[in-house]
Amino acid sequence: MFVTSKDSTKIGYETYGSGLGVVLVQGGMGTAWNFHELAQALSSSFSVYLPDRRGRGLSPHEYGEDYTIQRDIEDLDALLTKTKAHFIYGLSSGGTIVLKGALTLPSVKKIAVYEPAFFVDGLPNKALARFDKQMAQGKIAAAMVTAMKAAQMGPPVLKYLPGWFLTRLTQLLLNQEAKKGSGDYPSMKELALALQYDFKIVRSMNDKMQDFKGVNKKVLLLGGSKSPAFLKASLSELEKILPNPQRLELVGLDHASSWNYDKRRNPNGHPLSCG
């Protein structure tokens, strides 16, 4: 199924279950399918709507420099209008979209966000500039490694490995996937290209956290005990800023905990999670 956003972009989505409507908004290196198991778990009590954000999966849209987070808000608004859903869950950059949308979309009643992507102590600007350059040069594997390090994702051992080695390993994975396919998931290359949207969101919203004082809905702040420290810091800052927050830490889980189990446990899956 599809909805048409304000700029005529078609946003594809999947549906599960019946009941009150809830929309799940993914972060970087993810699509609606990453929430397949979560949607199944919720489907006995809710009508669950899984949109593919623009630039990936069912919502292909080439990244352009004129993109702003407002486009994602318009995409979300189109889906909420069609489905009549009032509850939203957002992961990482998807959580930032949900918070921003809650400021202006009257149909939003309650939201939950899992570790929105803010860098309270300052953006990794050098890494972001390097990512942009590598993407412009078509160096997808190198850009993915730069993004992984900037977002502090992947197993802890990766921070001790040299960038050239990780780039070569990532390129091997890309080559292998190009031959064998990516199953139910979009390819890592496709998701890496869409990662430009996520980093644009991170850049544009990082110094605007105070705006969320205007979010007059109940907000559930979620995080994992094994997630990077900067994501925990972002939750702590939001807890101070939001008028009506509730915070819950999930012991033993990390940033990708709401993704399908296979992508959390498979070391040969996407090397980035939920930017």
pLDDT tens-place string over residues 229-253: 999 999 999 999 999 999 999 999 9
- What is the CATH classification number for the domain harbouring 7? 3.40.50.1820
Number of domains in the chain: 1
Residue 40 is part of which domain span?
1-275
Q: Stretch 17-36: mean pLDDT, rounded?
A: 95
Confidence at residue 268, expressed as pLDDT on a 0 to 100 scale = 42
Confidence at residue 140, expressed as pLDDT on a 0 to 100 scale = 96
CB burial of 113-152 (b: ≥16 within 10 Å; e: otherwise) equals: bbbbbbbbeeebeebbebbbebbeeebbbbbbbbbbbbbb
Confidence at residue 129, expressed as pLDDT on a 0 to 100 scale = 96
The Cα–Cα gap between 221 and 207 comes to 19
pLDDT tens digits, one per residue of 218-230: 999 999 999 999 9
Q: Stretch 15-35: mean pLDDT, rounded?
A: 95
- Local confidence band at 10 (pLDDT 50, 70, 90 cut-offs): very high
Nearest to 195 by CA among 9, 51, 55, 76: 55
pTM of the model: 0.93
Confidence at residue 111, expressed as pLDDT on a 0 to 100 scale = 97
Spatial contact of 109 and 86, defined as CB atoms under 8 Å apart:
yes
Q: Stretch 61-85: mean pLDDT, rounded?
A: 96
Comparing 149 with 198, the larger pLDDT belongs to 198
The Cα–Cα gap between 80 and 108 comes to 8
pLDDT tens digits, one per residue of 83-108: 999 999 999 999 999 999 999 999 99
The Cα–Cα gap between 230 and 79 comes to 31
pLDDT tens digits, one per residue of 46-56: 999 999 999 99
